[in-house]
Amino acid sequence: MADTRSSIHGQWSSRWAFILAATGSAVGLGNIWRFPYLAGENGGGAFVLVYLFFVFVVGIPIMMAEILIGRRGRQSPINTMRTLAEEEGLGRYWSLLGWMGVFAGFIILSYYSVIAGWTIAYIFRTGTGMFDNVNAELSASIFSNLISDPEKLLVWHTTFMMMTILVVARGVKSGLEKAVRFLMPALFFLLLLMVGYAMSTEKFMDGLSYLFIPDFVALAKKDLFADVFLPALGQAFFSLSLGMGAIMVYGSYLSNKSSIASTSISIALADTSVAILAGIAIFPIVFTYGIEPSGGPGLIFISLPIAFGQMPYGTVFGCLFFLLLAFAAWTSAISLLEPAVTWLVENRNINRIKATGIAGMIAWTLGVVTVLSFNHWAFSFTFAGSLKENGLFDMMDILTSNIMLPLGGLLVAIFASWLMSRKSTIDELGMGDGIIYRLWLFAVRYIAPLGVIMIFLNAIGLFKLLGLSN
């Protein structure tokens, strides 16, 4: 059974390799701009503490559940859910959970590749001095010209997707593991270089204060539930790459000798460290050069290039920053493609190279929809009270981030804690039936599902409708 089952795709050479790969999956563009922005805008250090609390009571328990399911099944998420459901005497429809995760990851990859392409484009734009002494209007114009040109977007989207395909096609040890063994240390090194530069700026302490010191005056003006509690809860869930099949399939390559609990904690801490280091690197620069610390693409692709154009050695540090973003996106993208590839190998009797080519080409084609969503096919609509200006791209983002991922995380928690036998989960977690196991079981049965349900209701706008959120 589970103790003799092995993955046909291979196995990580060590626990450390798995931690690097899973951290790479979790660390993405959102960690580097979204977490620091949310922390700064929603109470600084108070937000960070609330976020860490939710990482431990919601994120880590669900991550442990997803890894144990993956390791016990040793197959693609779809086949793993079918196999384990049969072993536990459950209906075959639980394979739909695997399908939903793979499908969500696939859609995310299609538009993630387009956004990641922007980071590659900006490496070259920064390196050629395009942002030297640029003002806000010109910086905004450079960004607008990029996203309004479908041919350019297609080139960068194609480049990034090919980078992803080349890694995944080489397999677990020769592709995924070799890539993350280089990319993750390089990512941390680049982050530390950026932090080192930030320490030399005039407003370094202002940046730290913005990020870490609780701003009780600002908090008093905010709705703690809507402005601190819900954003921290949502960030804790989404930043760990849960509900999309990536952690499950990576878990299927994990040795039985490795502790799921300790590796999950290590991944969460590494993921959070990247987000915090990014904030330490970004905000001193933002404040030193008088940039508005707004969130999203505006900060990364419009505001920060202005600062890079003014600072000493700005061309070098600008290139390093966008290279850092590209690395973060790359490690996430390979984990998003992997679940679909494993299913093709297992169910269509084709080799990994062909399977990766097929899956990559489908994701690339779907990404063309995102490319056109920023220009020729652009249209606006309102969702949960917010205006969305990029039509089909926003629809795919809402479908995955607001619906499929929270629902997937909720079902993973239910399956692992309520439907799998106690013996199965105890065997896989390897921690016995003691207090630590019981704490995990309580968290994944009661606390984590409640948290995910709240994320889901907030994401679809129900809390706004009821007047509980702004």
| Residues with Cβ within 8 Å of residue 190, at least 6 apart in sequence | 320, 321, 323, 324, 327
Residue 62: per-residue pLDDT: 96
Q: In the block, which residue shows the tokens 């399939």?
A: 249
DSSP string for 401-431: IIIIHHHHHHHHHHIIIIIS-HHHHHHHHTS
Whole-angstrom Cα distance, residue 202 to residue 208? Answer: 12
Whole-angstrom Cα distance, residue 68 to residue 64? Answer: 6
Q: pLDDT, tens digit, for every residue of 367-391?
A: 999 999 999 999 998 886 778 888 9
Of the candidates 442, 450, 434, the one whose C-alpha atom is nearest the C-alpha of residue 418 is: 442
Of the candidates 251, 352, 335, the one whose C-alpha atom is nearest the C-alpha of residue 9 is: 352
Q: Quick count: other Cβ atoms within 10 Å of Cβ 117? A: 27
CB 431 within 8 A of CB 261: yes
pLDDT at 469 over 70: no
Q: pLDDT, tens digit, for every residue of 210-260?
A: 888 887 776 777 777 877 888 888 888 888 999 999 999 999 999 999 999
**Answer CATH for 15-465 from 1.20.1740, 3.40.50, 1.20.140, 1.10.3470:** 1.20.1740
What does DSSP say about strands 386-388 and 381-383: parallel, antiparallel, or unpaired?
Answer: antiparallel
pLDDT at 1 over 60: no
Q: pLDDT, tens digit, for every residue of 276-323?
A: 999 999 989 989 988 877 666 778 899 899 999 999 899 999 999 999
What average pLDDT is seen over the chain? 91
Q: Where are the domains of the chain?
A: 15-465
